[in-house]
């Protein structure tokens, strides 16, 4: 299941949180979340800002005083290899060396004094990095113009980007700082760096970033790595979750010697990369397992919600059905009550039954649909409506019915209609003395 720190996050934000933790190695989920929220969950900007902080570049949210880029260079286990310039040989060589020594000392002393004084007059333009990618591209073009296109593949990006890619890909990063004014730089680039076997080794086993210290980007990296002389090479890798310098090579190194030194550094530190790969794979597996658990939980939650929704719908359906049945019962009860009240009203409104001795009386025998017989006398001058009202008031009579005579067979117009707006009297209908009428049920029609 998701960790407590990841509650109230969307699935996309949770994935970004875990990916950011994997890229930066920050153990605290709260810190990871705080950093991502500062960058509006833009993981690329958050990772770059975090790497910049590790290198000494000010954060956009907490800018410290300006200081050079830094990686971990304080590790006492850093391998350092310095090639000294060869000592003079023979009497002629020592004589030339001693003659030139005062001039060389005077030249470099005056040059250092001039540079030191110049800093107070005009700040070093290299201290402001305005176009780091432009610095890299400019150095690449000048390198190819001077030494040709046969060289290791330059990383075409800033130093921060190179560190980021080396960390993400778990690869070695070889950094070369080019001193344009140093006497050994030209020979190193032409004979060592551009040697086919050196190119093959660098291109197949590491990333290669290079820049001139005369460029602002190169100068900034120079301040971070603190080289002593040129040519200068630094091997950087992810070690103990930090980008760390694990090897420094300084001086004019020959191709075979450079290959041996780089191979030795990589072999000595390969176990750290293997360990980091295993840890990263374990974190990825943990992330996948956590994601699978979250997906299983969400699937179970959705299934439970679907069951609950169906239960609610079933309860609602039953409730509506019960309400509908109850309403039908109430409607039927009201209808029956209204019908009974109507029967009672009709019964109360019936005229009195004439006596048997009345010569104008007509005895009518009604045969109801349930085969029962009902007798009553009516006055011949009364409307057929009275017959209908009498039958309607009976408990045994149907709700809707019509009255039929048998000889001749006809339906008596007992209720007003278009044909008979005023129903005829019994006499007008041809009913006299004793008659038998049939009641036909029309309730279901």
Instruction: Kindly report the CATH number assigned to the domain that includes residue 245.
Output: 3.40.30.10
- Cis-peptide, bond into residue 350, ω within 30° of zero: no
Helices vs. strands in the chain: H and E counts, helices first: 11, 10
Residue 86, SS3 per DSSP: coil
Whether residues 44 and 96 fall in one domain? no
* Token representation of residue 438: 């049939």
Whether residue 348 lies inside any domain: the answer is no
Whether residues 22 and 128 fall in one domain? no
H helical segments located in 90-215: 90-121, 132-147, 159-169, 185-187, 196-205
Question: Which value, in Å, is the radius of gyration of the alpha carbons in the chain?
Answer: 54
Which residue among 285, 315, 337 closes a domain? Answer: 285
Which domain does 36 fall in, by range?
Answer: 17-55
Whether residue 217 lies inside any domain: the answer is yes
pLDDT tens for residues 149-167?
999 999 988 999 999 999 9
Whether residues 180 and 275 fall in one domain? yes
Whether residues 106 and 234 fall in one domain? yes
Whether residues 164 and 122 fall in one domain? yes
Whether residues 140 and 201 fall in one domain? yes
**Quick check: 58 pLDDT over 50?**
no
Whether residues 44 and 102 fall in one domain? no
Q: In the sheet where 373-379 sits, what is the strand order?
A: 373-379, 361-367, 434-441, 401-406, 409-411
The two beta strands, 434-441 and 361-367, are parallel
pLDDT tens for residues 15-57?
778 777 776 778 788 888 888 887 777 776 677 667 666 655 4
Torsion from C-alpha of 23, 28, 30, 35, nearest 10 degrees = -40
Whether residues 91 and 192 fall in one domain? yes
Whether residue 175 lies inside any domain: the answer is yes
pLDDT tens for residues 60-101?
444 444 344 446 555 555 787 877 665 556 667 667 667 776
Closest CA to 273 of 161, 167, 163, 155: 167
Alpha carbons 416 and 404: distance in angstroms, whole number:
16
User: What's the domain count of the chain?
Assistant: 3
pLDDT tens for residues 254-282?
999 999 999 999 999 999 888 888 888 88
Q: Please return the burial class of 362, using the count of CB atoms within 10 Å of its CB with bins 0-12, 13-18 and 19+.
A: buried
Vertex 65 angle, CA 64 and 66, to 5°: 115
Instruction: Kindly report the CATH number assigned to the domain that includes residue 41.
Output: 1.10.8.10
pLDDT tens for residues 176-214?
999 988 889 999 999 999 999 999 999 999 999 999 998
């Amino acid at each position: 299941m998701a960790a407590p720190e990841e509650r109230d996050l969307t699935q996309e934000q949770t994935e970004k949180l875990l990916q950011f933790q994997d890229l930066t190695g920050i153990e605290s989920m709260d810190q990871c979340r705080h950093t991502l929220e500062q960058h509006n969950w833009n993981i690329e900007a958050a990772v770059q800002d975090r790497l910049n902080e590790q290198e000494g570049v000010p954060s956009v949210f907490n800018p410290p005083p300006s200081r050079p880029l830094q990686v971990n260079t304080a590790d006492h286990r850093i391998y350092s290899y310095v090639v000294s310039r060869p000592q003079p040989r023979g009497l002629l060589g020592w004589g030339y060396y001693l003659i030139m020594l005062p001039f060389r000392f005077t030249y470099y002393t005056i040059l250092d004094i001039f540079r030191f004084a110049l800093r107070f007059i005009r700040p070093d333009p290299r201290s402001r990095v305005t176009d780091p990618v432009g610095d890299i591209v400019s150095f690449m073009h000048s390198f190819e113009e001077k030494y040709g296109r046969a060289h290791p593949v330059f990383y075409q990006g800033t130093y921060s980007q190179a560190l980021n890619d080396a960390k993400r890909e778990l690869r070695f990063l070889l950094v070369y700082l080019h001193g344009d004014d140093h006497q050994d730089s030209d020979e190193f680039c032409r004979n060592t760096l551009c040697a086919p076997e050196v190119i093959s080794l660098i291109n197949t086993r590491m990333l290669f970033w290079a820049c001139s210290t005369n460029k602002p980007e190169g100068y900034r990296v120079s301040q971070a790595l603190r080289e002593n002389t040129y040519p200068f090479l630094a091997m950087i890798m992810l070690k103990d979750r930090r980008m760390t310098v694990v090897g420094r090579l300084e001086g004019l190194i020959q191709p075979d010697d450079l290959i041996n030194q780089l191979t030795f550094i990589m072999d000595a530190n390969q176990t750290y990369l293997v360990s980091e790969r295993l840890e990263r794979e374990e974190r990825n597996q943990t992330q996948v397992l956590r994601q699978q658990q979250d997906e299983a939980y969400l699937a179970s939650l959705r299934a439970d919600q679907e069951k609950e929704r169906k239960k609610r719908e079933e309860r609602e359906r039953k409730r509506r059905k019960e309400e509908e049945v109850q309403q039908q019962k109430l409607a039927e009860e009201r209808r029956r009550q209204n019908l009974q009240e109507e029967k009672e009203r009709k019964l109360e409104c019936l005229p009195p039954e004439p006596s048997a001795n009345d010569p104008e009386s007509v005895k009518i025998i009604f045969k109801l649909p349930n085969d029962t017989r009902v007798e009553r006398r009516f006055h011949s001058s009364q409307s057929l409506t009275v017959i209908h009202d009498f039958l309607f008031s009976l408990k045994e009579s149907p709700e809707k019915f019509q009255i039929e005579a048998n000889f001749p067979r006809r339906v008596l117009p007992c209720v007003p209609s278009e044909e008979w707006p005023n129903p005829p009297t019994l006499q007008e209908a041809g009913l006299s003395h004793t008659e038998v009428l049939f009641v036909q049920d029309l309730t279901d029609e």
